[in-house]
Amino acid sequence: MKVAANIFWIIGLFFIAAGLLYGFWVEWTEWAGIPAILAVGAMSWMIAWYLQATDKKFGLGPSDDEDGEITDYAGTYGTFAPWSWWPLGLGLACAIIVTGLAVGWWVFIIGVVAAAYFTFGWVYEFSRGKYAH
């Protein structure tokens, strides 16, 4: 994971530099590309930070072993609820949000409220009811 984290640090640095250079190139008049490029750099740095934090917690992973095999990745990666309807509702709420950007702010606000509801439901679905633990 150390190599992957370093790669994402470098990618983030590249996109931040490219975003700043692009901003100077267009004299800070174009406000669609500049924030998008800077956001890609920031997201790359977020991934790099996560990989570094995970590496400190778990140590060497299968990808860090030069003699590692594909089968070393086998195992459980998390707890997933195949019966859950929360992701479907969240997807529909996101569709309402995007539709609200084109139709009107009142539709956008309805989508944001619905997205908050479905996000909380999905996050806390294992904290209550039959499957609580």
pLDDT in tens, 74-126: 777 666 677 889 999 999 999 999 999 999 999 999 999 999 999 999 888 87
63 pLDDT more than 80: no
Q: Is residue 32 part of a domain?
A: yes
132 pLDDT more than 90: no
pTM: 0.56
pLDDT of residue 68: 75
Whether 42 and 93 share a structural domain: no
Range of the domain at 24: 2-65
36 pLDDT more than 70: yes
Whether 11 and 58 share a structural domain: yes
Q: Is residue 71 part of a domain?
A: no
CA-closest candidate to residue 115, choices 133, 132, 93, 95: 93
| Count: domains in the chain | 2
